[in-house]
Amino acid sequence: MPQFDTFIFSSSLFYFIISFFTLLYLNYTQYLPRIGSLLKLRHKLIQKPTITKTNTEALNNSGMLFTKILSNYKYN
């Protein structure tokens, strides 16, 4: 089997380790913080108090509020 060939096994293992740790680093520095901040934003939007008949204008503007918050959110 070619993947167990002793001549190329060490270089395959080397490049596997390099690519694994590169992807791990990118996950921790780029992708996970973005996902975490979006989850916090979602949690904040869900925890808003329920809207009653007295503030139906807020109900109509809730979609605009969500898009305004997302437009202000910056991706690094």
Give the pLDDT confidence of 56-72 residue by residue, as tens digits: 555 555 566 666 666 66
CB 70 within 8 A of CB 45: no
CA distances from 37 to 25, 60, 66 (A): 18, 26, 15
- pLDDT for 2 equals 72
Residue ranges of alpha helices (H) inside 27-55 are 32-46
Residue 76 has pLDDT above 50, yes or no: no
CB 31 within 8 A of CB 10: no
Mean pLDDT of 11-27: 94
Residue 67's CB is within 10 A of a number of other CB atoms, namely 10
Give the pLDDT confidence of 20-64 residue by residue, as tens digits: 999 999 999 988 988 888 888 888 888 866 555 455 555 555 566
CB 69 within 8 A of CB 41: yes
